[in-house]
Chain A
Amino acid sequence: MTTKTISRSVYGWVDERLGLSELGAFARHKTVPVHAQSFWYYWGGISLFLFLVQCFTGVLLLVYFRPGAESYESVRQITFVMRFGWLIRSAHAWSANLMMFSILVHMFSVFFMKAYRKPREFGWLSGMALLGMAAAFGFSGYLLPMDELSYFATKVGLEIPAAVPFVGTAIANMLRGGPEVSEFTVQRFFALHVVVLPALFLPLLGFHLWLVQRYGNAVPPSEEARPIALRKTIPFMPNFLRKDLAMWLISLNLLALMASVFPWALGKQADSLVPAPAGIHPEWYFMSPFEMLKLLGNVLPGEAGEIAGLLLFTLGIALWVLIPFYDVSQERGRRSRAAHYFGLIAVFLLLATTAIGYWTIR
């Protein structure tokens, strides 16, 4: 028998049991719409690629990282002793930031293309849950090196749940593992970061991707207005896939550039007796809520401001998450336009408060 007949019979055997040819047929028939906004279709894939980079570099860091009291020492060792440890740590940190950015771009593009409408409500909801978990990944991972910045960032960040009336202190203590950020906090953030969050994230990501296969790419309202005969598509295999992979390659190159030219720093070891360093500020993706709370605190000082801030956040996020249920219009009507303005206001608020945040730390 030749190699060809062997591989064909092996394929036949597996195909008979797993239905590979159905998958192949599905992939051949899958198409992707082509229009003026097609560029935004890449951002989900870019987010996925950067998530895979996170898994890979995360496992590598796990090889030498020791949580608990030794965490700073082990990160110092990874950064300065292990060969290329600085690069792997830097790639993990940079990829986390780039992933956060691409997820946000993906979310806003879905929002403005109104891709959350029927039948894609679950895609939107699972995406929002994935974004929330990505933020939790970022917050928990930021503490792990236990340097000055991560210590104070966690200390300040946990003041937000602590402001919840009645149960806030209990929640914050549960997250911290005591009244202060300590090695217990690192240990439980580590458990969250490498076990709990991945265990929740991966199945939900699978669900999210399955929905994309099931319903395909949504077309924006401007495209919906055109007759079906005039709409253009390209096959997913291999045309769109090739472009998708090209985007992954660009992402990989950008990541390699950032990680090696701007290696992620490691500050001084956290010490609760040392005052917070000047100019300390949250990561850029937490800057906006941080600044909103600060601005609101100026208007409404004290506990009233904190509670009002939390209420406003909760309301804003709830409105955002529930958009598929009140913006149900299938054509470009008035309600649809209201959602559009809501999105524009959200983008403006995020950008403005982030800018103010960076402006005022200088």
Chain B
Amino acid sequence: MSEIASEDTKLTPAAEEGADSLTRRAFLVAGSAAGACYAAAIGYPVYRYLASPSEMALSAPAITEVTLKDAQKLPVASVLMFKFGTRPAMLIHHQDGTWVALTAVCTHLGCTVQYEPEANRIHCACHGGVYDSNTGANVSGPPPKPLTRFKVAVGEGGVQISRT
């Protein structure tokens, strides 16, 4: 504390050099601690503020089931894109009448994939990944994993899609 008290009376920088090293260290430690408190008091609200959207997404109830109204009328060899929770997904009505629902997010780098009825495959335009349109298995190109399959229940009023 002697250092602070001397500030107004000793008017040269040389006065600073002579300060007691222990006092100086204590001052630095106390100053750093106070600085850390301020940094935390400012940093915490700023972090929570910036993280709000991801917090809200996390706290939203996890979607386990989606009902697509009137989706049973989907013609064969065509696809219906929909959102399962926050992520895109696809419902495919195959030529042979079977139904398949898959996530539509490429397992490589996250582009939205496309169903190609003429080749009967799922293709990712970003880096040329190819998936099997019946199973979602990664067939060729960079994708490391298959697309996740959903359970499909076709009813009178619509198609119900749920996690397996």
- Residue A82 contacts which of B8, B11, B41, B49 (CB distance < 8 angstroms)? B49
A85 touches B52 (CB 8 A): yes
**Counting chain A CB atoms within 10 Å of each CB, which of B8, B45, B48 scores highest?**
B45
Instruction: Given A84-B45, A84-B46, check contact A28 B51 (CB 8 Å).
Output: no
Chain B residues with CB under 8 Å of A239's CB are 7, 11
Chain B, range 1-28, C-beta contacts under 8 Å to A: 7-8, 11-13, 16
Contact B11 A84 (CB under 8 A): no
Q: Mark B46-71, 1 if CB is under 8 A from A, else 0.
A: 10111110011000000000000000
Q: Does A81 contact B (CB under 8 A)?
A: yes
Bound-state Cα–Cα, A232 to B9, Å: 11
Q: Are B16 and A83 in contact (CB under 8 A)?
A: no
Could you give, for residues 145-160 of chain B, a 1 whenever the CB lies within 8 Å of some chain A CB and a 0 otherwise?
0000000000000000
Q: Name the contact of B50 in the complex, choosing from A63, A233, A235 (C-beta under 8 A).
A: A63
In the complex, which residues of chain B have a beta carbon less than 8 angstroms from the beta carbon of A196? none
User: Are B13 and A235 touching (Cβ within 8 A)?
Assistant: yes
From 14 to 63 in chain A, residues with beta carbon under 8 angstroms from any chain B beta carbon are: 28, 60, 63
Q: Would you call A242 an interface residue if the criterion is a C-beta within 8 Å of the partner chain's C-beta atoms? A: yes
Q: Are A233 and B11 in contact (CB under 8 A)?
A: yes
B11 lies within 8 A of A60 (CB): no
Chain A residues with CB under 8 A of B13: 28, 235, 237-238
Name B52's contact: one of A81, A235, A237, A256 (CB within 8 Å). Answer: A81
Nearest CB in chain A: distance from B160 CB, A: 32
Given A233-B11, A242-B7, is A84 in contact with B16 using a C-beta cutoff of 8 Å? no
Chain A: which residue is nearest B53 at the CB level? Answer: A82
Chain B nearest CB, measured from A65 CB (Å): 13
Contact string against A for B residues 33-44, beta-carbon threshold 8 Å, 1 for contact and 0 otherwise: 000001001000
A interface majority secondary structure:
helix
Residue A88 lies at the interface, judged by CB distance under 8 Å to chain B:
yes
Q: Tell me the dominant secondary structure on chain B's binding face.
A: helix
Partner pick for B48 among A28, A84, A233, A235, CB 8 A cutoff: A84
Whether a CB of chain B sits under 8 angstroms from the CB of A234 is yes
Chain B residues contacting A84 (CB-CB under 8 Å) are 45-46, 48-49
Say how far B134's CB is from chain A's closest CB, in angstroms: 43
Q: How far is it, in angstroms, between the C-alpha of A49 and the C-alpha of B11 when the chains are bound?
A: 26
CB-CB under 8 A from B45, the residues of chain A are: 83-84, 87-88
User: Inside 8 A of A233's CB, which chain B residues have their CB?
Assistant: 11
* Beta-carbon nearest neighbor of B38 in chain A: A252
CB pair B12 A83 closer than 8 Å: no
A60 to B48, CA, bound (A): 12
Q: List the B side residues contacting A87 at CB < 8 Å.
A: 45
Cα separation A63 to B51 with both chains bound (whole Å): 11
Provide the residues of chain B in CB contact with A232, threshold 8 Å.
11
Q: B16 and A60: CB pair below 8 A? A: no
* B41 proximity list for chain A (CB < 8 A): 256
Asked whether A235 lies within 8 Å of B12 as measured between CB atoms, the reply is yes
Question: How far is B48's CA from A87's CA once the two chains are assembled, in angstroms?
Answer: 12
| B52 and A83 within 8 A (CB) | yes
Q: Judging by beta carbons under 8 Å apart, are A88 and B49 in contact? A: yes
Q: How many Å from the CB of A88 to the closest CB on chain B? A: 6
The answer for the CA separation of A325 and B41 in the assembled complex, in Å, is: 48
Q: Which residues of A lie under 8 Å from residue B8 when comparing CB positions?
A: 234
Q: Once bound together, how far apart are the Cα atoms of A83 and B8, in whole Å?
A: 44
- Interface membership of chain A positions 193-236, coded 1 if the CB is closer than 8 angstroms to chain B and 0 otherwise: 00000000000000000000000000000000000000011110
The chain A residues found within 8 Å of chain B, CB to CB, are 28, 60, 63, 81-85, 87-88, 232-235, 237-239, 242, 252, 256
Pairs across A and B, CB under 8 Å, 13 listed: A60-B46, A82-B49, A83-B48, A83-B52, A84-B49, A88-B45, A88-B46, A88-B49, A232-B11, A234-B11, A237-B13, A238-B13, A256-B41
Nearest first, the 8 closest Cβ-Cβ pairs linking A and B are A84-B45, A83-B48, A82-B52, A84-B49, A83-B52, A235-B13, A84-B48, A234-B11
Additional A-B contact list (13), CB under 8 Å, known A234-B11, A239-B7: A81-B52, A83-B45, A83-B48, A83-B49, A84-B48, A87-B45, A232-B11, A234-B8, A235-B11, A237-B13, A239-B11, A242-B7, A252-B38
